[in-house]
A and B are shown apart, each in its own frame.
Chain A
Amino acid sequence: MTAASAGQALISLHNVVKQYETAAGAYTALRGINLTIDRGEFVAIVGKSGSGKSTLINMITGIDRSTSGEVRVAGENLGKLNEGKLAVWRGRTIGIIFQFFQLLPTLTVAENVMLPMDFCDIGTARERRERAAALLARMDLSEEQANKLPMALSGGQQQRVAIARALANDPPLLVADEPTGNLDSRTADSIFHLFEELAAQGKTVVMVTHDNDLASRASRAVIVADGQIVDAPAA
């Protein structure tokens, strides 16, 4: 956390409710969430399966919209942005890391990292290549691995590629949904260490996990149960 960025709210949710209409009737996934996360924080969102933690980060990333309440991230009221603007905003503001890596299987590792820059028109082709190479090197991936298809890499390596992709547009916020959930404990530890480093370098990191040990290493843990925050120490 840098001194300049510390203490400023990057994310604020006020009375956020999310309801889904299902065949079995209405289902409330989030019940009046209030949450503030400051710049440079490393926040772990913890909860059991079905507790609403993934829905919560979908609200933060703009992947889903709240039924009521307000979601503000990096100064934007996400409810006011249409899908097109939301996509561009998301590409520039948030790096998302998924549990199952979600790399595009037909693109090489380096191309996967370049893709967000391509969509957001950041840099020239050469600059994109150089940045992707630098990010992959930072993730301890060789040039040879950069030119392979994701399937040729191990799970831990694929998750490192996903992190490199999340960092491609140098977003202030990284959101990770169970990033270690599909990895063995040793690899999970190294990936978590990467997040710690990124947070230390000034990135705001929000990570969903059900691993209490990992959560305890974050600067703050937010516990979600039945669509509500049951334990959210103040930032």
Chain B
Amino acid sequence: MRPRWHKVFRDLISSPTRTVMVVLSISIGVFAFGSILATRTIITEQLHDSYLAINPLSATITTDPFDDDLLDAVRHVPGVAQAQGVRVVSARIATGPQQWQDTALYVLPDEGWRDIGVVKPWQGAWPPPKDALLVERASLGKTKAAVGDTVRIEIAGQDSREIPIAGLTYDLSLQPAVISGQVYAYVSFDTLEWLGGPRSYNQIQIVVGEGRSDAAHIQAVADAVGRLVERSGRTVINTDVPTPPLQHPLEILLPTILFILTSLGLLSLLISGFLIINTISAILTQQTRQIGIMKAIGARADQITGLYFGLSAGFGVLALLFAVPLGVLGAYGLTQFLAGEFNLDIVGFRFPLPVLGLQVAAALIVPMATAALPIRAVARRPAREALSGETSAPPEHSPIDRLLSRLHGISRPTRLALRNTFRRRGRLVRTLIALALGGGVFITVMTLRASLFTTLDESIASQRYDVEVQFARPYRDAQAEQAVLGVPGVTGAESLLRGMAFPVLADGTTAEGLNLRAIPANTDMFAPRMAGGRWLLPGDGRAVVLTSNYLVKAPQTRVGDEITLEMNGDNERWRVVGFIEELIPPVSPAWAYVTIDAYTQALGGVGRTDTLRVATAGHDAASHAAAAMALEQRLSADGFEVRLIHTRTEDRNILAERFNVLTAVLTIMAAIIGTVGGLGLAGTMSINVLERTREIGVMRAIGASDAAVRQIVLSEGLIIGGIAWVISTVISVPMSLAMGYAFGMALLNTPLIWVYSLPAVAMWLGLVLLIASVASVLPARSASRLTVREVLAYE
């Protein structure tokens, strides 16, 4: 090896602490960046590929019960390549005494395998045995049972039955249970009949032969199927064409999550860049005379540049030794975590080579690119200047110095610490940027977390009931209310009707169904958060209020517009009078609210109810559970057929489960970025102390005690930490506002209720002061331990 490269190598190892800090800083940046990018690549590819592998449907047509004859005819419709009949039944599974879990019960063919949206056996029996059920693997946890256990299941309007869970399936065609909050179970037609269900299909799923990614073509084929269904004397209740086609329901959410994660990964890389500039600049300052000597013995500017680029690249290569294996581990962990949440199997985890290439490039280019300016400046410095040890312009008497001179009551060491802080402004600015960005992201993420849960709590709080009881069929409202009001602890009850409403499009087809609630206009059980327009008023007539996620599918809809809704086969015109914000993922159907008077006027059923909203004296989880149990017992005893009882606590838990995943990932990212920022401060403080070793020696020679030296260095660290904290606090406001808006719109289709996390601000102050103290005390201790002779001889 040439002697010059020996120098580079020895410079790398001559100051282990400095090297470790720079290497750690680059490693963390490259590791975070690589992990996220690899996860992004793997998850995106595998989710899409796995989804395509199950032969996803092109369209679903919901209609009246039908049999195989209609299916045979559908298969002959031009454009249809495959068609299958599907039966889905709403059910509930008992998860405890009087505790029920909402369940969607799917019928599988006798042989198990279906052609479209293939459901695969996962564990235990296959196909679904007689009088037993299979459960989708990701939703098993919600049943609070295991394979082999017997659970109690009840389909709407029928008696409950004990049924064993004979095995698990893997169904990628459905939203993961963690998002939907539902259990998915599979039975044969025989078992469904045994449970009291019908032996007929109610949905046609089709796959088109050509143009599988062409939504307009699919719609045309689905319409043709719809016309055929209508010619058979049945009513088309709904036609649904997933848009864009061939996309897993989660693919709509994935880009936002991954974009935010990638931005955070890049940010950590950027922050590590600032530490590299500081370190390389410090090395160059320290080695100015050496550079002069090298020039004096014949080194050209390009050779000096190459030497220090080599040093920067050396830091990068060392960083890669950590970043690559850590990146693989991180990508594996993050991929498995997200795959678990998305109910996705990662087939043959392989770290993407392009990402490895990007990691190598980032680890080498970031240090070289960030160090380029200081290296260039030093390499071009005339030999005489370099030999004399002149590093840069001499310190000026800055406005800060003048201000400090005028301030009284500040001790001399503190005054010196304040001057030192602002002495190397470039370095200070870079350290502040690194630390402030780290802090800004930390507070932003914590604010985002607080905002998510506040939005959740507000949304839950807007539902002013404690328990909702859904009956299997309508009952007289007075009779039902009387029954529940007799339950101890119940303070109020309100009757409403539920159903589905399908927006009728201009071409006469219907869009995705809306969950419909017909409620009293002057309801006490609902305090909606208005996003536009107004809430329902008594005597409103045909007025409808929609949840704002309706605008995802029909963005042109405005308050005052009239829309046609198909309810129970009748088309009625309704005027949109308002939009409300509710915590509903964009992939879930929107909700529509109408007054119960207008609804019964249009569709009949005056004085009937199929859903009761019940208020209780206690509002905590235990009170809710107790109330649900008491209501179930009373209503069963009184002969009411209950389909489902759910409490506000349960609703909150389902939604909180969704957010926990997200905030866990974000918190990890905040910790990584905070660490890089902390390393930046630690690096800067070591460099500052190292550069001032001679100055410290002089101070000690003229009588400064160890404590005074430590006080100066510690004060400097705390001042930098304090300034960074103030900047973090300021920048976190717009950052969290922007992120809250983006997150809310992407995940819930409504901006989050922004709640600035003051605990996070306090926590970051504590953290930053701790980092500053540790980062300052260690070099200060080393400096104060040196003898005066040693420091004065320091070169």
| Closest Cβ–Cβ distance, residue A154 to chain B (whole Å) | 15
Q: Taking A64-B384, A104-B293 as contacts, is the C-beta distance between A111 and B298 under 8 angstroms?
A: no
Q: Is A140 an interface residue (CB 8 A)?
A: no
* A168-193 contacts to B (CB < 8 Å): 168-169
B14 at the interface (CB under 8 A from A): yes
Known: A106-B10, A115-B4, A119-B294. A91 touches B301 (CB 8 A): no
B481 within 8 A of A: no
Residues of A within 8 A of B384 (CB): 58, 63-64
B290-307: which have CB < 8 Å to A?
290, 293-303
* A118 and B293 form a contact (CB under 8 A): no
Among B10, B14, B296, the residue within 8 A (CB) of A90 is B296
Q: Hey, which chain A residues are within 8 Å of B299, CB to CB?
A: 87, 91, 119
List B residues 363-394 near A (Cβ within 8 Å): 380, 382-384, 387
Query: Could you say which of B3, B6, B297, B382 contacts A83, with CB atoms under 8 Å apart?
Result: B382
> Chain A: interface secondary structure?
helix
B296 CB, nearest partner CB in chain A, Å: 5
CB of A98 within 8 Å of the partner chain: yes
Inter-chain residue pair count (beta carbon < 8 A): 83
Max count, chain B CB within 10 A of own CB: residue among A62, A83, A90, A104: A104
A176 to chain B: closest CB distance in Å?
12
Interface bits B316-344 vs A (CB < 8 Å: 1, else 0): 00000000000000000000000000000
Check A119/B4 contact, CB under 8 A, given A91-B298, A102-B293. Answer: yes
Partner of B383 from the list A63, A104, A169 (CB cut-off 8 Å) is A63
Contact A104 B2 (CB under 8 A): no
Query: Which residues of chain A are within 8 angstroms of B301 by Cβ–Cβ distance?
Result: 83-84, 87
Inter-subunit contact B3/A118 (CB<8 Å)? yes
With A83-B382, A104-B290 known to touch, is A63 a contact of B387 (CB < 8 Å)? Answer: yes
Question: Nearest Cβ distance between residue A113 and chain B, in whole angstroms?
Answer: 9
B6 touching A90 by the CB < 8 A rule?
A: no
Residues of A within 8 A of B3 (CB): 107, 111-112, 114-115, 118
Q: Is B6 a contact partner of A107 (Cβ separation < 8 A)?
A: yes
Residues of A within 8 A of B382 (CB): 64, 83
Q: How far does the Cβ of A30 sit from chain B's closest Cβ, in whole Å?
A: 13
Is B650 interfacial (CB-CB < 8 Å)?
Answer: no
B323 to chain A, nearest CB (A): 26
Beta-carbon contacts of B2-16 to A below 8 Å, as 1s and 0s?
111011001100100
> In the assembled complex, which residues on chain B have CB atoms less than 8 Å from the CB atom of A107?
3, 6-7, 10
- Given A87, A98, A106, A120, which contacts B295 in the complex, CB threshold below 8 Å? A87
State which residues 104-151 of A face B: CB under 8 Å.
104-108, 111-112, 114-116, 118-120, 125
Quick one: closest A residue to B11, CB to CB? A106
Evaluate contact between A115 and B302: CB separation under 8 angstroms: no
Chain B residues positioned under 8 Å from A58 (CB to CB):
384
Q: Which of A96, A106, A125 contacts B296 (CB 8 A)?
A: A96
The 10 A-B pairs of least Cβ separation, nearest first, read A91-B298, A106-B10, A111-B3, A64-B384, A116-B297, A119-B298, A119-B299, A114-B3, A63-B383, A115-B3
A83-B382, A106-B11, A118-B4 known; 11 other A-B pairs, CB under 8 Å? A90-B296, A91-B298, A102-B293, A104-B7, A104-B290, A104-B293, A111-B6, A119-B294, A119-B299, A120-B298, A166-B297
Q: Could you list 6 A-B pairs, sorted by A, with CB under 8 Å?
A: A63-B295, A84-B300, A87-B298, A90-B296, A115-B294, A166-B297
**Residues in chain A within 8 A of chain B (CB atoms):** 58, 61-64, 83-84, 87-88, 90-92, 96, 98, 102, 104-108, 111-112, 114-116, 118-120, 125, 165-166, 168-169
